[in-house]
């Protein structure tokens, strides 16, 4: 059975042997910058050879302040100012909306392949109407690039599209504390934002699903509405009430929904089953999470593919012996009981890759191969 076939079997609710594993995107297909960084080469040789790759591809990203979404607007609507320091590159974007200007500021730190939002488009309550007036129009991703990557990936795994849920689009355009307050004081305005975000996401799915993008869609954002930060009723409204539309559309086209949520999830798991989610990550153990892998499996059985259970911090800081122990425990817990993919909870974002992370990623793969085949 190829690695691709093994992943598809899991998605059909079948346990497989050996147990699959993933480095959560440390491969030549998910993050092209890694393939260009010599410090990643040793790990990439391993992932090419052994990993069950879920190749993260294009994304309709959530943060309108630092993404390609603003570039989809009429160029006359957006002014971009860029400046550099020794530590970072900064991006100031001013959007001329039909109801007035909005601006945001982001930073790309040197040596880190991620962006930090310093100022958000929605700063004041009156900015909500301005944001809603922006004529965003989802755009078809580069299909030729997708097919080229899929061809290179071959039987090593499955292609995966990243996509926010409506809540993610709303939250990532304002300070989180402001979002928490507005969810109570401005319920009508928050509803309008969520409705508009869902509309945009469904438009994008209507573009890409008939063209064969997928088959896995990694949905991020539900954790913003989860307890203990938000009331369970809010999660039911803002996540269950909206994400079901996305998942149903994916299923109509034979695709699969992977729900991404860090932190405590014990009380959320039944809702994920009701949503029809096919996969769930990163299944963080205590203390970052609030449920063990054994308990999680007892709740869902083979109804959902469970991914994760190894904290990224253990890969970045621990000893190889400890990484080996953690993998052995996870594999033994899941064997024959769950549709399980052993993964870290996140992938590295730094360049160059530290020696300890290189060592432990290789140990992780070696341990997964050893214990997964028992």
Please give the average per-residue pLDDT across 156-164, as a whole number.
Answer: 94
| pLDDT band with cut points at 50, 70 and 90 for residue 61 | low
Please give the average per-residue pLDDT across 324-328, as a whole number.
Answer: 98
CA distances 77 to 70, 74, 136, 263, Å, are: 9, 5, 11, 38
Q: Could you report the per-residue pLDDT of 208-256, keeping only the tens digit for each?
A: 999 999 999 999 999 999 999 899 999 999 999 999 999 999 999 999 9
Report the pLDDT value the prediction gives residue 237, as an integer from 0 to 100.
Answer: 95
**pLDDT of 57 above 90:** no
Q: Could you report the per-residue pLDDT of 271-303, keeping only the tens digit for each?
A: 888 899 999 999 999 999 999 999 999 999 999
Report the pLDDT value the prediction gives residue 128, as an integer from 0 to 100.
Answer: 97
Please give the model's pTM, rounded to 2 decimal places: 0.95
Report the pLDDT value the prediction gives residue 70, as an integer from 0 to 100.
Answer: 47
CATH code: domain 3-60+138-372 is: 3.20.20.210
């Amino acid at each position: 059975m190829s690695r691709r076939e093994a992943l598809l079997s899991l998605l059909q609710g079948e346990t497989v042997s050996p147990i699959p594993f993933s480095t959560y995107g440390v491969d030549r297909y998910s993050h092209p910058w890694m393939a260009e960084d010599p410090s990643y080469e040793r790990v990439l040789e391993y992932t090419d050879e052994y990993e069950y790759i879920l190749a993260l591809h294009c994304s309709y990203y959530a943060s309108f302040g630092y993404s390609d979404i603003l570039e989809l607007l009429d160029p006359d609507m957006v002014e971009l100012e860029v400046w550099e320091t020794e530590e970072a590159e900064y991006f100031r974007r001013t959007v001329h909306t039909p109801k007035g200007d909005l601006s945001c500021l982001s930073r790309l730190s040197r040596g880190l392949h991620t962006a930090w939002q310093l100022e958000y488009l929605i700063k004041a309550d009156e900015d909500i109407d301005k944001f809603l007036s922006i004529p965003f129009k989802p755009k078809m991703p580069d299909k030729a690039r997708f097919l080229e990557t899929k061809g290179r990936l071959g039987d090593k795994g499955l292609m995966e599209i990243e996509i926010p849920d409506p809540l993610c689009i709303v939250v990532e355009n304002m300070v989180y504390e402001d979002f928490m307050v507005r969810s109570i004081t401005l319920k009508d305005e928050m509803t309008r934002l969520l409705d508009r975000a869902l509309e945009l996401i469904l438009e994008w799915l209507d573009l890409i699903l008939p063209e064969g993008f997928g088959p896995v869609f990694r949905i991020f954002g539900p954790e913003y509405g989860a307890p203990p930060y938000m009331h369970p009723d809010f999660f039911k409204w803002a996540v269950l009430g909206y994400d079901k539309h996305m998942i149903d559309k994916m299923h109509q086209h034979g695709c699969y929904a992977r729900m991404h949520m860090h932190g405590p999830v014990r009380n959320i798991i039944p809702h994920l089953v009701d949503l029809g989610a096919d996969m769930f990550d990163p299944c963080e153990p205590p203390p970052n999470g609030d449920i063990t892998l054994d308990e999680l499996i007892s709740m869902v059985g083979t109804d959902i593919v469970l991914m994760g259970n190894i904290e990224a911090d253990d890969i970045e800081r621990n000893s190889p012996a400890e990484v080996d122990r953690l993998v052995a425990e996870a594999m033994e817990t899941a064997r024959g009981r769950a549709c399980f993919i052993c993964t870290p909870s996140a992938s590295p974002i730094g360049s160059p890759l530290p020696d300890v992370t290189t060592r432990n990623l290789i140990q992780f793969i070696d341990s997964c191969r050893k214990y997964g085949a028992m």
